[in-house]
Structure 1
Amino acid sequence: MTSKSLRWWQGGVLVAVFVAWHLLSRNEQTAFFIGEPIKVAGRIWSWFLPVEVAPNALFPEGLPGRADIYVHLGITLLETVLAFFFGTVLGLVFGLWLALAPMASAILDPYIKALNSMPRVILAPIFALWFGLGIWSKVALAVTLVFFIVFFNVYQGVREVSPVILANARMLGANRRQLLRTVYLPSATSWVFSSLHTSVGLAFVGAVVGEYLGSARGVGYLILQAEGTFDVNTVFAGIVVLTAFALALDALVGRIERRLMKWQPRQGEAEKL
């Protein structure tokens, strides 16, 4: 299947989903639970384009012209980016350290497993108590989600370095710092980028859940307010907006990965070799 035909099939699936959603939402009772795609699109329009829509047959209540979504979305994106950055850096540092320090790894292993198995959402009230209801309590919660994904991937990537490569590097006189720069980090790089694609989504999850549990700004706050009034269309509009921006960040990570991983052959090229 060519890339162009694949795109057509993917677009066809999306269109089919929206058509099925529209047909199901024609029943008023069903629409109360699943929303209406046209009204969801109208809500997104009213968020991003501050143009008031007068009441009509499609939107009996009209659409208010307001652009406050930029403030809420900016807060959520800031929390996500900060959590993604700090979680990635901490996961990379601790993953490298414990992978290269067997004694420390053996001592801390049960505690790391215990922290990883803990439902991190229950930490949200504690972070709110420590950091207040501002952005840092949401960042802290999201960091706990990102950290372990990056940490375990880096740890595994370093531990799986070929002993033959290490032996050859040591024979050539490489010291510990040179081994870290030329052997361990390149080995862990592919593992790191594979974890970053998952981490982007988890950073969004942590930020939105934190806003959901206690906040006065952010897309999670908008969704919570909409749920309080049973406005399912606004809930779905918030979900669509968050999904779109999460995909955009994931695509940015993918572009950075392709630039930094030029030395690694693509899947098709590897099969030819």
Structure 2
Amino acid sequence: MSLDRVAADRGIAISSTRKHTSRWVILALQIFTFVFIVLVWEFGARLGYIDEFFFSKPTDIAALIYKWFATGFIWLHLGTTLLEAFLSFVIGTILGIIFGVALARIDLLCAVLDPYIRILNALPRVILAPIFLIWFGLGLTSKVALGISLTFFVVFFNTLQGVREVDNVILNNARMLQASDRQLMRYVYMPSAMSWILSSLHVSIGFALIGAVIGEYMGSTHGMGYLVAQAQGLFNTTGVFAGLIVTSTLVLAIDMGIIRLERYLLRWRPKH
């Protein structure tokens, strides 16, 4: 074996080791940061530097969350919020992809609808919650409608940009090979837009849960937003933080699942 080959293999091994070590170092620093914040919060509250009425204590919040799960109290509320967020996410994503592809492919349609899309996107959609409650009532539909209004535009603009970013060389070669519109969509446009679409999902899943929680907060009989609203009405800071932490943890878990899905669907891309 030549010296160049040995040096190259050694360089690859060192690079892999550094990458592996870096990942564990980052994880350790993340855990350390979390533990440090929790300890400062806990001891600050116990020593009187942090007002428990406004900020509670991590141990009290953890105890309440444990009680919710141990007694099964939270499952109905968590399931309601998950269902609303799931429907908002799926419907908003599908509509965003369909309209994004359509407007990217049909220039006339894009030119006609462009000002209306910009107006709707500029509208603070959170203020639509009371309107949706009036239109659809306190049930599932109003929360899903609000969630769709939040997730749609994220997916739509990413899909629109992804389809427009198709490499003209690849597109022209496919047309030279007499690819049909269906084949162009399947083998050229969608693979090009897929990374854009998947990137938008990380944001849209959070927006879907935001829509569900805000809708429940405005008016509902079940859900995580309902729990937070009830706790706020009783000046129960521990309950408010517990609801927020459970919801945030849920978003983090779903986002990790989307990351795995993204890696699987984009496994054809070369790794950098």
TM-score (norm 2): 0.90
Partner of 1:154: 159
Deviations 1:173-214 (Å, cap 9, x if unpaired)?
112111111100000000000000011111110100000111
* Conservation of the 8 A alpha-carbon contact between 1:24 and 1:31: no
Structure 1 position 20 matched with structure 2 position 40: yes
1:5 shift after superposition: 1.6
Partner of 1:220: 225
Partner of 1:31: 52
Structure 1 position 251 matched with structure 2 position 256: yes
**Aligned pair in 2 of structure 1 residues 233, 181: CA closer, same or farther (>3 Å)?**
same
Distance 2:41 2:50 in 1: 14
Q: What is the letter of the counterpart of residue 98 of structure 1?
A: L
Distance 1:86 1:109 in 2: 22
* Conservation of the 8 A alpha-carbon contact between 2:44 and 2:50: no
Q: What is the letter of the counterpart of residue 83 of structure 2?
A: L
Deviations 1:52-97 (Å, cap 9, x if unpaired)?
xxxxxxxxxxxxxxx2210001000100111000000000000000
1:240 shift after superposition: 0.7
* 2:51 partner SS: helix
Partner of 2:66: 45
Structure 2: segments with no counterpart, 5+ residues: 1-20
Distance 2:195 2:270 in 1: 12
1:24 shift after superposition: 2.0
Distance 2:31 2:89 in 1: 30
Structure 1 residues 63-142: aligned runs within 5 Å: 67-142=72-147
1:167 shift after superposition: 0.9
Partner of 1:61: none
The structure that is helix-richer by fraction is 2
Q: What is the letter of the counterpart of residue 245 of structure 2?
A: V
Distance 1:13 1:49 in 2: 28
**Aligned pair in 2 of structure 1 residues 132, 141: CA closer, same or farther (>3 Å)?**
same
* Conservation of the 8 A alpha-carbon contact between 1:34 and 1:232: yes
Deviations 1:192-240 (Å, cap 9, x if unpaired)?
0000001111111010000011111101000000001110011000011
Q: What is the letter of the counterpart of residue 26 of structure 2?
A: L
The alignment's C-alpha RMSD in Å is 1.1
Higher deviation after alignment, 218-227 or 248-257: 248-257
* Conservation of the 8 A alpha-carbon contact between 1:87 and 1:143: yes
Which residue, 189, 192, 196 being the options, matches 1:187? 192
Higher deviation after alignment, 197-206 or 28-37: 28-37
1:130 shift after superposition: 2.1
* Conservation of the 8 A alpha-carbon contact between 2:93 and 2:151: yes
* Conservation of the 8 A alpha-carbon contact between 1:95 and 1:152: yes
- Matched residues, percent identical? 50
Which residue, 149, 153, 163 being the options, matches 2:168? 163
